[in-house]
Amino acid sequence: MTATKKYASEQLMNVLLAPVVSEKSTMIGDKANQVVFRVSDAATKPEIKAAIELLFKVKVSAVKVANVKGKQKRFGRMMGRRRNWRKAYVCLAPGQEINFASLE
């Protein structure tokens, strides 16, 4: 049974929020064939894997998840805090690739 059969496709559409585009994510993509995504706070590793396989039609070998703490910022006199967020490092199977330029 594949991972996409366990979850409703409407549920999987809300798991991935955006790709993370930075120097670090580009370097990881070139070296280790990984892609970095911003995901919802309640997303689990199997849900992230199923969402990637459903949306991009690629084979995922592993998913690593990191919780990113929000930074403290000043808003005038008041100290505030940006919200915490979650990112997923998705390791693709050998020979697989996600090309964001061709998805339009």
- What are the residue boundaries of the structural domains of the chain, listed by start? 3-94
Instruction: Report pLDDT for 9.
Output: 85
Query: What pLDDT score does 21 carry?
Result: 93
Q: What is the pLDDT of residue 10?
A: 86
Q: Write down the pTM of the prediction.
A: 0.86
Task: Tell me the pLDDT band of 56, cut-offs 50, 70 and 90.
Answer: very high
pLDDT at 7: 84
Phi, psi of 92 (to 5 degrees): -90, 155
Q: 66-87: b or e for each residue (b if 16 or more CB lie within 10 Å)?
A: eeeeeeeeeeeeeeeeeeebbb
d(CA 54, CA 47) in angstroms, rounded, equals 10
Which of the listed CATH numbers 3.90.1200.10, 3.40.50.720, 3.40.605.10, 3.30.70.330 matches domain 3-94? 3.30.70.330
